[in-house]
């Protein structure tokens, strides 16, 4: 019973770390990456479709993303989707290929992005601490219902804290790497 509670809360904590990792990938660092367009959807025959499902996305150099649509008739829709996204990018359409130049970031913008990354990291750490709190409450409830000892519960709480520390440290490491990536470009 205790192992099941610990395992389920460990999985939830891992998901919180994965969510932080996913949020960090979407943040622009001044260099071209295909992940930058992951959230952009094209209105393809009335259906919002991820951009990577309507064309081939590549990064021919450090500051450019190219999109080669499989259906040339939607090239304008792809361009419009990128323009209306909140990425602040200006695509160039040559009729068969879309080039998206990634402008370099100035120092002020880098600091703003670092603040945003820190906010995502803090939200993930709060989620991890909330999962710990829920787990400890569940352990206390099960102690009364299933009549296991207080020592077993306290040991399980210690394990829960170790998991919390482990996953919070992972978020800190992700934050450190992303911050370094943003400030070095």
Q: What is 72-99 written as a DSSP string?
A: GGGHHHHHHHHHHSTT----EE-SS-EE
Distance CA 141, CA 153 (A): 10
Q: What is 144-175 written as a DSSP string?
A: HHH---HHHHHHHHHHHHHHHHHHHHHHHHHH
Instruction: Provide the b/e sequence for 25-35 (b: ≥16 CB within 10 Å).
Output: eebbbbbbbee
Region 58-77: what's the mean pLDDT? 88
Region 115-127: what's the mean pLDDT? 92
pLDDT band at 15 (very low <50, low <70, confident <90, very high): very high
Give domain limits for the chain: 2-26+106-184, 34-101
Distance CA 18, CA 183 (A): 23
User: How confident is the model over 91-109, as pLDDT tens digits?
Assistant: 998 888 999 988 777 888 7
User: How confident is the model over 133-156, as pLDDT tens digits?
Assistant: 999 999 888 888 887 888 888 999
What's the pLDDT score for residue 17?
A: 93
| CATH no., domain 34-101 | 3.30.1360.40
Place of tokens 């992005």: 113
> What is the 8-class DSSP label of residue 58?
E
Distance CA 45, CA 88 (A): 25
Residue 105: name the closest of 81, 122, 87, 132 by CA: 87
Three-state DSSP state, 121: helix
Mean pLDDT of the chain: 87
What's the pLDDT score for residue 28?
A: 67
| CATH no., domain 2-26+106-184 | 1.10.132.20
pLDDT higher than threshold 80 for residue 184: no
């Amino acid at each position: 019973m205790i192992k099941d509670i610990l395992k389920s809360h460990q999985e939830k904590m891992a998901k919180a770390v994965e969510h932080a990792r996913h949020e960090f990938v979407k943040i622009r660092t001044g260099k071209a990456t295909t992940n930058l367009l992951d959230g952009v959807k094209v209105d393809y025959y009335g259906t919002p479709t991820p951009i990577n499902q309507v064309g081939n996305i590549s990064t021919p150099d450090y500051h450019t993303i190219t999109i080669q649509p499989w259906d040339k008739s939607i090239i304008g829709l792809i361009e419009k989707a990128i323009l209306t996204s909140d990425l602040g990018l200006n695509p160039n359409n040559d009729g068969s290929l879309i080039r998206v130049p990634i402008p370099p970031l100035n120092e002020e913008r880098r600091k703003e992005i670092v603040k945003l990354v820190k906010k995502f990291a803090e939200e993930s750490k709060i989620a991890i601490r909330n999962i710990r709190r829920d787990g400890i409450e569940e352990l206390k409830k099960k102690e009364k219902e299933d009549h296991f000892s207080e020592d077993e519960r306290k040991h399980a709480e210690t394990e829960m804290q170790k998991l919390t520390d482990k996953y919070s440290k992972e978020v800190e490491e992700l934050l450190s790497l992303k911050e370094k990536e943003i400030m070095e470009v």
